[in-house]
Every structure is written in C-alpha cells, then in structure tokens.
Structure 1
Amino acid sequence: MTTKFDLVILNGVVVTASDIGKFDIGIKGHTLTPSFSAEEIAGAEIVDAEGGMVMPGGIDGHVHLCQDLKTGPLGLGGECADNFETGSRSAVCGGTTTIITFATQTRADEDRSLLKVVEAYSARAEATGSYIDYGFHVIIVRDDEDVLETELPVLVEQWGITSCKLFMTYETMRLQDYQLLDVMLAALKHSITTMIHAENGEMIQWLTEKLESKGMMAPYYHALSRPQSVEGEAANRTIVLAELIESPILFVHVGSSASAAVIRAAQTRGYPVFAETCPQYLNLTWEDLKRFHSPTCFENSKMICSPPPGPDSSDQDSLYLGLHNGTFTIFSSDHCPFKYDDPHGKMVGILEHEPSMRGPSREDISFPELAHNKVGSFRMIPNGIPGVETRLPLLFTRGISTGRITPQKFVELTSTNPAKLYGLYPRKGAILPGSDADIVIWHPEGTLPPFTLENKHLHHNVDYTPYEGMKFNNWPRYTILRGKVMWANGVLLGKPYDGEYLKRGPNQLGKGVAHFKKDPRRVAAWVRE
C-alpha cells in the first residue's frame, strides 16, 4: 500500500500571518497537502506537536556569509567567520529554513562585473553546501552604466536575483546621491528591490575625527560616532531621492526611533517604503558597549554593529511599536559574524592601530593578552555581530511570550513578509497546499524550562554571542525543510547539501499609490520616459 503522506504533524496550533487554529498537517514529498483522514496517515512519519505552535519556517533576508568586509578607512577589515555550511547550520537550529545572503561587489577592477561577483559567491556556497535553502542579494558599490544596463537583466532572468543593497556610509562602499539615483533607476527598470544602509557617512567621519582628537577611541565611542540624527538624516534624504524617480525602497537594520519616525511618515503618505529591524535593536543598548569590565575594555568590540543600538530602552519601546503597527515589514538578523579572538575578527581594531601595536610583536603574545589594557581604535573594528540562530527565539521570548506582538504578527515579520518582499511567496512563507513544507514547531507553552543562553549552545562558527546570559523560555523543537526533519529536540539531523539555491521573483508587496505620478513637486516622472 502506498502511503498518501510522508510526514504528518499532529496536535499543533497552526499559526499563519493571518490565522491561528488547531490543525493537522500532511506532507507529501516537498510540499504541503490538503486535509486528510486518520486512515490516510498510515505508514507516514509522525511528529506530535503536543499543542505547540506550528509556523512556516523562518526566512532571514539579511545574512552575511563568506564575506571579506573591507569597510575600514584604509580598506582593512575582517572576514566573516561563517561560511555557508556553518551559517546555515546555525540558522536551521534556530528555526530558519531560508536565508538570503549577500554577493558583494568591491571597487577593485576584478569585481566590476556583477555577474562574476555572483558566480564567485555561488562557488563558495557550492563548495561547502548549505543546510537550508538560500538566495543572493547583490551589493553594488559602483555605478558603471554599461554594467548596470547589461548585467542587471541577466541577474534577474538567469539567477533570480531581484534585490540589491546600496550603502550611504563606509569609505570603500558608499555611493554619492547621484550614484544612488543612477543605481536605483537602473534597478527600477528591472523590478529589482533597492535596499539601503542609511547612515550619513560624512557626519560619521566628522564625529569620528573629533572623537579621535580627544583620544576617545575605545569600542564604546563607536556609538557616540553614530547618534540617531546620522540615521534619521540619511533615511529622510533617501526617501526624497527615491520619490523623485518613484522607486520603492527598503531600509535595512533600522535601529533608531528617529529613522522609524521618518519612515512611518513616508508610509502614511502612501509611498512604498519598507523597513527592517533586527534583534540587536530590541535587546541591546549603549550600555552593552560597557559590558566587559569598563568602557575602555577592548572586549566590548564584541558588541559593535552599525547602526548601533539606542542609548537606552526607550528606542526599544518605539521599535516594538513599529513591529506592531506595520512600520517594519520584516524582522531579520543582520548576522554578520566576526570572531573576537582572531586576527581577521574584532582584533583588527588593535592589529591595525599603530599605537596599540607598540611594544611586544604579535608573534610573541596571544590575542587575549594583546587586547589586555589596549584601547585599539573603534574606527577599525569590523562592524557586525552574530545572530541568525537567536533571531526567532529572541522575538518569541520577548515578543510573543510578553504579549508585545501576536503569534500572527511574528509569522508575518519573520516568514510571510520576507517571502513576499523577496519574491518567494507562496512557495515560501506559507502553510498552503503546494507550498514548500518548511515548518518550525515550538515547545508547548511551559514545557521547556527557562534557560540562560551560553555561546556553547549555539551552532555558528563564532567565539561569542552578544546575547550571552539572556533568559529564554522557548526554542524551536523541530525545524523541517521541504518535508525533511532537520532539527529535532536539540539534535541536528540535516546535512550540509540539503539546501537548494532559490531563484526569486519581484517584490509582491506593492508599489504605492498612483497619485505621486501626477505631482511634479515631488516626482520627476519624465526621467523614466
């Protein structure tokens, strides 16, 4: 007798972006199937959710893997600690079944071709394999007209890459306003979503130089070099630029209430502005840059990311409100992993800082000893923290369990909206007949004893977590990728090549209201003719 189903999930509370209810789920092959009778599940593998929440698998649309992030003033920087194998392993253990990572162009001549950049990153993924499904964004740091004109359509048609990221800061990556317009207009022609890292690079440079002139170079001062106005001004300017050419935009890793307010105002006018925030902005503050011993302790470099979290918890309240009211479209990790005790990690902030290197040579001393009583330079510390595995458990513990967001909103932010925004819906981000059987099942309420997180619990290739010591009351019990149980009760069952590359379509969340096309005070409609 041939079984109708390969896997059946029983006794779960199924949560989607719109609904919640007690349902059973049948899976045949890679996809979800309609309802069934008890007789039809004979011979199928059974997963008993025991009353736990059953959700679409997490989609993390902001993950850095296999990158050399040379964003320092001299083109220096760190190397991502996670490759596709270790990063995807960490993701699946935290309930994520799809990641979208970055293929990064540089200003070197060999990186002029976006197609060659993507081919190189694809080779890195194929070399190690991925535990989960993955796709690419492309980071564009040049506005070469011939490349944009000839290669963007190929990226869309052959690779299914329908999103690009542009920077307004970092000397080696930022684009001037006219360059932003050039790339946004080219992307718009091919329905490519433009992602923006919005920080005013010149303000940061000016503040950094003033801090350094006062000898204020320890990791803590990274936050002072990036006050809220740095992000707020850049967000406002980008909205004006994008509106000029009627280009939808997505602001990534929004960390401040100032930026969120600017974005909300544009959304209220009906403009297609989307926004992402991340766990660090809901769980960390400037105080975490003083966590280790003293504000000048170099170990605080572990907490450096850009933009930095807010000075205190008041921004967290505003950002939670943004999750609740729709200001934020998606919730991503911005997993950007650098080891601490490594010459290509956070230690770059000492190794490339000449005053800190006076005295014993690096060959004669271990890195922990080298960092002792050294200040280093926050300007040179690689920006980024790990978080792909903790993204969903943090929002579950501090969002759902506290009542700050509903389970449906959780699914919307972490799975369904990313799928729609990045052209994967309804294959991903849904529990529907025919959708990929990507599922995360949580422990039933109250059955997992609360625990304190330690880095040894995690599966990334990083020697710390910024969330060390935080309390959690739930964690994914099962993660299922296209019908295969990958993670069950704390045991990793999947393999590195279980993941597949995903070709994506265009943004499915809309293009705003039509009246902007009739308002020459805001829009240069003739540019697109």
Structure 2
Amino acid sequence: MILPFSPPCHPYSFLLLHSQEPLPPNNMSKQFDLVVKNGIVVTSGDTGKLDIAIKDGKIAHLAANISEDLAEKVIDAEGAYVMPGGVDAHAPVGGLGNVRTTLRPARVRRSAEGPPRLSRSNRWEESLLQVVENYDARAKATGSYCDYAYHVIITRPELETLKVELPVIVGKWGITSCKLFMTYAALQLRDNELLDVMYEARRLAITTMIHAENGDLISWLTDKLEERGMVEPRYHAESRPPVVEMEATSRAIVLAEMIQNPVLFVHVGSASAAEVIRNAQTRGFPVFAETCPQYLHLTWEDLKKFHSPQCFENSKMICSPPPGPDDSDQEALWTGLRNGTFTIYSSDHCPFRYGDIDGKALGIVQHEESMQSVTCPVDQDHVHEVMHGKSGHFKYIPNGCPGIETRLPLLFNYGLLEGRITPERFVELTSTAPAKLVIFDLLQFLNSRTDALMLIVWVISSKRCTLAWPLRRR
C-alpha cells in the first residue's frame, strides 16, 4: 500500500522492513529469510556499504556481497541509507487527558519507529500502581502494531508512592523512567518534592525526566496579560518567554547536582535553556536533553500569522514550552543537536484535534466571554458553530502538537540532507541514544545476532514522496 506524503524541500521516500512478526516457513535451501543489498549501512559510529542478511527476525550476517541465491527475498537498496528504526523516547499517546492518539491509530504513523514511550499521570485519587495497571489494561484493550513501554508521571511524591510503589513499578513492570513537572497546577512539584523523587530515582537507577518551566512565573504573567485583555492564542508564548524555561532548568540542575542525580530535560525549546544545560555538561555533570521538531521549525511568528480578533487557527500551534521568539533560537538548537548538547530527538507527540469539543476548542468553550453569544448546543455536532468568529483564551487551550509522523522525515530532510548533522548523528539522536537512555542497548549497532526490530531504507529521489508500508507477509 502506498500513501501520499507531503514533500519537503528534498523529496525522498522510505521503505520499512519490519521483522517482529515471523516470516512464513522458507525454502529449506535458503539460508536467510531476507537480504538487503547494496545499501549504505549507517550506525551511530560508522557508515559503510554492506549487505544485511536476516534470519528468524535477527540480523544473521553483514558482508560486502551476500549472494542473492541465499535469500528467500531480496531488496535492492542501491544508493539508499539503511538505518536502525527510530525509538521515540517521549510520546504521550493517549496518556494526558484528551490526547487524540491511541496506540492502534498510531500504528500507521509509528511504522518507522521502534518502541514508543507512553506517559500516564498519577492522578491524585489513585495509587501509582493502580495507574500503571489501569493504563496497561487500556493499552492492551486498544491493541498496538508496535512495541511500547511506559514512563510514569509522579504528582504525589508521598512516602508510600516513593518507598513502596515505585520500587515495585521498576522491578515488576520494568519501567525505567519517571517524569516530573515544574508547571501545571495539577502536576507541579515543589523543590523539596523534586528532591524527594530525584533521591529515590537515583537509588533505583532510573531516568528522571523533567518538564522545566516555572509554573508560578507563568501564572503571574498570565494574570498580567488577562488584566490587559491580551488573551488570544498568540499571547500563549508571551505568558511563557524563554526565561521561564531557563530559570526552571537552572533550578532543576542545582537540585539534581546537589544529590548527584542524572536528569533528562524534555522538549527543550529555547537557546537560553540549552545554554544552561551545556554549561552543566561542560562541568562534567550528567545532564541529558531532548528537543523536538516544533522547536526547530516554528517561532512566535507562526502564532501571529493567523492572529485576528475573529481567528482561532493559531491554537493548533500551542505547546509548552512554546517555540522560541525567532529563528536565532532554532539555529542554537541545531547547534545543540550537532555538538551533543541534545542527547535525543523525540516527538513529544501530544495532539488535540482542532475541531473537537474536548480538544483545542476548549480555549473557547471554557472562556465565558467567548461563550456569551453562543445560542446553539455546546456539543460535538455544533463545535464549528460554537468556534466561529471567536478567538478564545489561550490558558484554556490544551498544550500539545502532533509529531509521530513527522519526527524522522523532518530531521532527515532539514538535518541530514541539508548538512546540519551527519548520518551517524541522525542514528544517534533518533535510535541509539534513546534506546540506551530509557529502554535498552539493543539498537546500538546493526551487527550480527542483533534483533532486526526494524530497518529503515531511506531512498533519496527527485520524485514525489511516498511512504511504502512494512514488507510483511502473513
């Protein structure tokens, strides 16, 4: 099945070879199930022209010239990059309120990706164990066409949670990371609570992920903007200037460094926060960082493009932290991807539908002033009528953008093909580093006896872009 794909500046197509499902019994005279020939094989440390032979879901052999006669199926990857599949280390699929992607609908979008990482909040009325069990049941009931694993979001760092439940989650469920928030009233932790969780995370040797924004400063700035009537979607970014992220990042590093707990800063969007992280890294402290596509391709100007008193379109681009004010932040982030400031490149896939009564439209539905003139029923059938001619309030708009489909293509095009990063660095950011950091060391090398979870063959051409489906026979 071939699907159209919107082409960026440098058209390409990519072919996915998925081997999680067993191939049918092959001819006994054939040594391998599949051979990928003539490709430019790329790992995080090296690049070379090799053939890859796969047997029983594992890479069985790598050599310069494997005979086609030895394989049941052969794919000619002449001139194409052959890389490990992507590992998206941060994708809150169906885990934060009304996020509109679940595991099963994401199967198509994620087909170039390896094991995703899903977040689920520890709600106030539930134990952390109950949250994980409930979410796992939801995931299994929905079904998935890809591997997945969980993060846990800790919002109630009580003794029972940290000393009893968290060790069980790590030991029984194999969860290797927790996420902490420094903003959002329902999720925000105080400094002493951050320290409590970091201390236990260090003891259990799990990754501490941090959403670094100063929630109190955001609340204060939001109040000041409201006093001046500056509440349209474009003002979301002005309620969260770069200093909000920079201050929280600095504070979290101080706390983590005091107890020597490694931390991973997720969705870093500003040059100033990246600089703080780089400074800590040069001191030798184990600070890791992630950035995402939206911060490399959007700015405050994108929020202003659709701005008018009767327009709500720019709510589609609202995320937290917001992208930088101008393209100088983008260039600083590209530099960080090159020089190692950023350890991983993730999607932070957190989409809310624009025309959904529980999606971006909440920015209007929950804003009393916008709703004063509404006479139709406030339901999904009338959502566009409810939204028409209104601009709403940014503080009620759910924060989040999609990214699963575009994460790899955007970095491949604007990073690798435009010379900003090397092929090896592409693999490091999208596959090897996230696997090592939060999952396992399985995808570090494309070597003999490694599970062939997925290979991606990137074909660069002047033709229109297409997405070729995984080659699987049932």
TM norm structure 2: 0.90
Higher mean C-alpha displacement, 269-278 vs 80-89: 80-89
Task: Say which of 397, 402, 410 aligns to 1:394.
Answer: 410
Equivalent in the alignment of 1:431: 446
Distance 1:290 1:121, change over 3 A: same
The question of whether the paired residues in 2 share the 8 Å contact of 1:440 and 1:477 is answered with no
Please, which of 294, 299, 314 is the counterpart of residue 280 of structure 1?
294
Say if 2:266 is the partner of 1:247. Answer: no
- The answer to whether the aligner puts 1:337 opposite 2:365 as a matched pair is no
Deviation readout 1:475-527 (Å, 9 max, x if unpaired):
76565xxxxx36xxxxxx89xxxxxxxxxxxxxxxxxxxxxxxxxxxxxxxxx
Q: Does 1:4 align with 2:31?
A: yes
Q: Tell me how large the CA RMSD over aligned residues is.
A: 1.9
Q: Deviations over 1:266-318 (max 9, x none)?
A: 00000000000000000011111123363762111100000000111110000
Q: CA deviation at 1:197?
A: 0.1
Give 1:360 shift: 2.6
2:80 aligned residue (24, 38, 52) = 52
| Residues 1:445 and 2:464 aligned together | no
Give the counterpart of 1:321 among 332, 335, 346: 335
> What SS does structure 2 have at the residue aligned with 1:234?
helix
The equivalent of 1:512 in structure 2 is: none
Answer yes or no: is 1:103 the counterpart of 2:131.
Answer: no
Counterparts of 2:128 and 2:136, CA distance in 1:
12
Contact 1:11 1:50 in 2 (8 A): yes
Deviation of 1:203 (Å)? 0.5
Assess, with a 3 A threshold, how the Cα gap between structure 1 residues 50 and 447 changes in structure 2: closer, same or farther: farther
Cα distance in 1 for residues equivalent to 2:444 and 2:319: 28
Query: Which shifted more, 115-124 or 334-343?
Result: 115-124
Q: Judge conservation of contact 2:234–2:307 (CA < 8 Å) in 1.
A: no
Q: Which has the higher contact order (CA 8 A, sep 6+)?
A: 2
Instruction: Determine the C-alpha separation between the residues in 2 that align with 1:440 and 1:476.
Output: 14
- Post-superposition shift, 1:42? 3.2
Native 8 Å contact 1:52 1:441 kept in 2: no
Provide the C-alpha distance between the structure 2 equivalents of 1:273 and 1:432, rounded to a whole number of angstroms.
29
Counterpart residue identity of residue 222, structure 2: T
Contact 1:442/1:478 (8 A) holds in 2: no
Alignment of 1:213-228 (within 5 A): 213-228=227-242
Identify the range of structure 1 (214-223 vs 356-365) with the bigger mean alpha-carbon deviation. Answer: 356-365
1:373 is aligned to 2:401: no
**CA gap 1:442/1:39 in 2 versus in 1, 3 angstroms:** closer
CA distance, structure 2, for counterparts of residue 39 and residue 14 of structure 1? 17
Aligned to 1:67: 95
CA contact (8 A) 1:101 1:137 kept: yes
Q: Percent identity?
A: 53
How do 1:142-157 and structure 2 match up within 5 A? Answer: 142-157=156-171
Match of 2:434 in 1: 418
- So what's the TM-score if we normalise by structure 1? 0.81
Is 1:229 the counterpart of 2:243? The answer is yes
Question: Cα offset for 1:362?
Answer: 4.4
Partner of 1:90: 109
Displacement of 1:51 in angstroms is 1.6
Deviations 1:71-107 (A, max 9, x none): xxxxxxxx01111101232111xx2122111122122
Q: Determine the C-alpha separation between the residues in 1 that align with 2:253 and 2:79.
A: 45
Residue number among 234, 254, 276 corresponding to 1:262 in the alignment: 276
Secondary structure at the residue paired with 1:27? Answer: strand
Report the alpha carbon displacement of residue 45 of structure 1 after superposing the two structures with TM: 1.8
Output one character per residue of 1:103-156: Cα deviation in whole Å (capped at 9) or x when no partner: 22122x2x2x21111111111111121111111010111111122111222112
For 1:99 and 1:295, locate their aligned partners in 2 and report how far apart those are by CA, in whole Å.
Answer: 39
2:135 aligned with 1:131:
no
SS of the residue corresponding to residue 90 of structure 2 reads: strand
Extract unaligned runs of 5+ from structure 1.
Answer: 70-78, 452-474, 480-484, 487-492, 495-529
Contact 2:288–2:341 (Cα < 8 Å) also in 1: yes
Cα distance between partner residues in 1 of 2:170 and 2:271 = 34
Structure 2 residue ranges without an equivalent (≥5): 1-27
1:81 aligns with 2:100: yes
The alpha carbon displacement at 1:38 in A equals: 4.2
What do residues 181-239 of structure 1 show as CA deviations (whole Å, max 9, x unaligned)?
Answer: 01111111100110000000010000000001111111000000000100000000000
Counterpart Cα distance in 1 of 2:59 and 2:467: 20
| Residues in 2 aligned to 1:429 and 1:356: alpha-carbon distance in whole angstroms | 52
- Which is further off, 362-371 or 156-165? 362-371
Q: Answer whether contact 2:334 2:420 (CA < 8 A) is retained.
A: yes
> CA 1:194–1:308 in 2, change beyond 3 Å: closer, same or farther?
same
Is the deviation greater in 40-49 or in 265-274? Answer: 40-49
Residue matched to 1:292: 306
3-state secondary structure, aligned to 1:12: strand
Cα distance in structure 1, aligned partners of 2:339 and 2:192: 33
1:104 is paired with a residue of what secondary structure?
A: coil
Pair 1:205–1:192, CA change in 2 (3 A) = same
Q: Is the 8 A contact 2:118 2:149 kept in 1?
A: yes
CA contact (8 A) 2:87 2:113 kept: yes
* Amino acid aligned to 2:59: L
CA distance 1:142–1:19, change in 2 (3 Å): same
Name the CA distance, whole Å, in 2 between partners of 1:440 and 1:218: 44
Is structure 2 residue 25 aligned with structure 1 residue 25? no
Q: Given the superposition, is the C-alpha separation of residues 352 and 419 from structure 1 closer, same or farther in structure 2, using an over 3 Å criterion?
A: same
Matches within 5 A, 1:295-306: 297-306=311-320
- Give the Cα–Cα distance (whole angstroms) in 2 for the partners of residues 344 and 180 of structure 1: 31
